[in-house]
A = this chain, B = another copy of it.
């Protein structure tokens, strides 16, 4: 075998399959919600003869239609301020590559979306985590804690809002505090808004795009994956009013030539998805969240904050070790021949041993299945040998 050592990268969560018993998959963010019919119809109605490249930045038709969507949210952007990407993943990678030099640092409140580590690793960007805590529902850590981490190498802060994995929805006050910080230290503010459409209890979604004086600092990272339950479309975008970032990002986009053509056609149609679709989806997720959070907090020794958005919760369990517990659930435990697959929260922390008694649950199953999964979890906690 060639002598080349193979580079190491943090492994992704194991998507093990356990045959023989029913597994409630609360571990991944693949919703069961149907993709809007208009989006799927657009795929079925394609009428081109040559499946060709599109411009690297995305088609003008799609970027123009996207501004309709964003400007209804008062982002006040034009098509030149959008770079269409291959999934939200590429938006994150391109933002890092375009804005942060190798060896420079990005601050991320933890727990955070585990793949940020992978993208940072690929971009040779150093992740500096800053701890948010379950006791206050994973609110933004105090600004003074950010300031302790900031140094000459600090180039950006990334927030995911509403948050994956915690579901936390940042408040206007928290975003204003970040605004001050980014202006004071001249930092980029990356805003991962994959879950923007999923805000509950009548709470408004606030984007850094709504804040004054931050045009050159804000880079929005977005995707159609969750908004339209179209994870397999692999279509996202990066939005910024900073022309240098668009120009630098475009060079990385040009290197991979083009985002998908069929996806852009479908996503253009998706912008006309009726409001009723989102209302129905949000009602469904609210029901599920309420059921999940209520059941969790009724279990002895369990604490789960009630998050304002996304479709995840992080819960604290009376266990010794979340990795062990989740594995035990899959391999050793069953209740009526069923079990629950969850994501150990340790995977979302960069700090060693953080989140050892926490798990992330995605409420991507219907209420009946969630209730059954919670009954199963409740029984498991009663008999788990590592209960504390």
Q: List 7 A-B contacts (CB under 8 A).
A: A2-B99, A2-B187, A4-B104, A30-B52, A35-B49, A93-B256, A124-B124
* Chain B residues positioned under 8 Å from A49 (CB to CB): 34-35, 40
Cα A284 to Cα B260 in complex, Å, equals: 27
A248 interfacial by beta-carbon distance below 8 Å: yes
* Chain B residues positioned under 8 Å from A252 (CB to CB): 9, 118, 122
Supposing A35-B49, A257-B87 touch, asked if A11 and B251 sit within 8 A by C-beta, the answer is: yes
- Taking CB atoms and an 8 Å cut-off, the chain A residues in 47-98 that contact chain B are 48-56, 86-87, 89-90, 93, 97-98
Cα A44 to Cα B47 in complex, Å, equals: 9
A230 interfacial by beta-carbon distance below 8 Å: yes
Listed stretches A231-239, A285-293, A354-362, A365-373; interface member = A231-239
Cα A255 to Cα B251 in complex, Å, equals: 21
Q: Which residue of B lies closest to A9 (CB)?
A: B251
Could you tell me if A260 and B258 are in contact, using CB atoms closer than 8 angstroms? no
Supposing A51-B35, A101-B4 touch, asked if A232 and B251 sit within 8 A by C-beta, the answer is: no
The binding surface of chain A is classed by DSSP as loop
Q: A30-B52, A262-B263 are in contact. List 4 more A-B contacts (CB 8 A).
A: A3-B155, A35-B49, A35-B51, A115-B257
* Chain B residues positioned under 8 Å from A7 (CB to CB): 97-98, 100-102, 248
Q: Which residue of B lies closest to A86 (CB)?
A: B86
Cα A52 to Cα B228 in complex, Å, equals: 10
Q: Which residue of B lies closest to A29 (CB)?
A: B53
* Chain B residues positioned under 8 Å from A122 (CB to CB): 97, 122, 252, 255
